[in-house]
Structure 1
């Protein structure tokens, strides 16, 4: 079975999938090319408010390409660092690449990564689970709306300390750049909170598959692409990319 048709098994929700082990925010600082950047994120010790624009203590220097309601919060699997460090023989530390949230799997489940999170997934950070219900008062709810597109700032961030080729292109090809959340419900977030998957409307729509479709040199039948175009919350630029991947003969 091709990766573009790999099924995502049905699961019973809500499901405690992880614990939040670190929350990070950054301040805009002088960066490379005479620019400012807040890509370097430091752990936050105290609880922090989250609204539709993200963590209230987090900054983005380039508001045109970073931040905003459809890039409010960024999560990146720690495995991305392991893969980069192994591939390029580096020691890039967690938090270097701009992520706000770091989680750790629980109950024998796999770590949250691009192979098992989906566009449209809603995760709740905080609250208590019992009797098949979650008491989520004060907790934050976040929806995955797009992967992160690696940009030259990843190259510059790592390249400040090493002479490495185009890491951003490699990360993009691997599809391991994490994802952006839209804030569904404002609240307070801090480390050590449980993370619950509470909605999965599009179980076929893993980020891994989205990257494979987007990076492919092939064209696909409408039956492969159209379900993605019907995902209301998928950020528009990704739909534009996918639409170009559909065979012309399949377009009505």
Structure 2
């Protein structure tokens, strides 16, 4: 059964050389039950609302299995939140999701898969460019992007909650079907 490993929110805003000047990518796991509303995890922020946040990108999910792949590739531990995700899940192939799939998380929260994450220069800087040269292209090529989610029903969730997937209607596009790298 798929389950939620961690719920993450911004730990601190960090200086960034991008156009906004700061980034909120430094997410860390929260303890206990966490409230989720229409704009995502309570207490979380997005520094660049042009590209992140809003109703259609209220949450970002990443799979533990994909994180483990990258741990092997990068030779380091990647704690929940390292990818800037709000939800670290396990037992769910998030990249095989379909647009419109509904995930029931715990007893109350329902979210809808809306689109894949598009890796950006801020993400490349966070990973440690120039040490990981070509990071965005590499991340993009592996197609382990993870989905953005819209909150359909607010509530509280916590690590350990089960996730039940209600499939999108037949014929719904897969998360990565129409994805084209911006690079």
Q: Kindly state the Cα deviation for residue 79 of structure 1 after the two structures are TM-superposed.
A: 3.0
Rounded Cα–Cα distance in structure 1 between residues aligned with 2:154 and 2:58 = 11
Counterpart in the other structure of 1:113: 94
Counterpart in the other structure of 2:76: 91
* Aligned partners of 2:100 and 2:172 also within 8 Å: no
Q: Per residue, is there more helix in 1 or in 2? A: 1
* Aligned partners of 2:103 and 2:112 also within 8 Å: yes
Q: Does 1:186 align with 2:154?
A: yes
Counterpart in the other structure of 1:126: 106
Map 1:192-207; keep pairs closer than 5 Å.
192-202=160-170, 205-207=173-175
Q: Which runs of 5+ in 1 are unaligned?
A: 1-16, 106-110, 128-138, 216-240, 242-252
- Structure 1 outlier segments of 4+, above 6 Å: none
Rounded Cα–Cα distance in structure 1 between residues aligned with 2:77 and 2:125 = 13
Rounded Cα–Cα distance in structure 2 between residues aligned with 1:154 and 1:207 = 20
If asked which structure has higher relative contact order (CA below 8 Å, sep 6+), I would say 2
Map 1:201-240; keep pairs closer than 5 Å.
201-202=169-170, 205-211=173-179, 214=180
**TM-score, normalization by structure 2:** 0.87
* Aligned partners of 1:103 and 1:112 also within 8 Å: no
**Higher radius of gyration, 1 or 2:** 1
Counterpart in the other structure of 2:134: 166
Counterpart in the other structure of 2:25: 39
Q: Secondary structure at the match of 1:177?
A: coil
Q: Which of 17, 25, 29 is residue 13 of structure 2 equivalent to?
A: 29
**Count of aligned residue pairs for this structure pair:** 179
Rounded Cα–Cα distance in structure 1 between residues aligned with 2:142 and 2:88 = 20
Rounded Cα–Cα distance in structure 1 between residues aligned with 2:176 and 2:39 = 26
Q: Deviations over 1:71-104 (max 9, x none)?
A: 00110112333333444x4315132110111122
Q: Kindly state the Cα deviation for residue 202 of structure 1 after the two structures are TM-superposed.
A: 4.0
Q: Secondary structure at the match of 2:152?
A: strand
**TM-score, normalization by structure 1:** 0.65
Q: Secondary structure at the match of 1:154?
A: helix
Q: Secondary structure at the match of 1:209?
A: coil
Over aligned residue pairs, what C-alpha RMSD do you find? 2.1
Change (3 A) 1:22 1:203: farther
Counterpart in the other structure of 1:66: 52
Q: Kindly state the Cα deviation for residue 150 of structure 1 after the two structures are TM-superposed.
A: 0.4
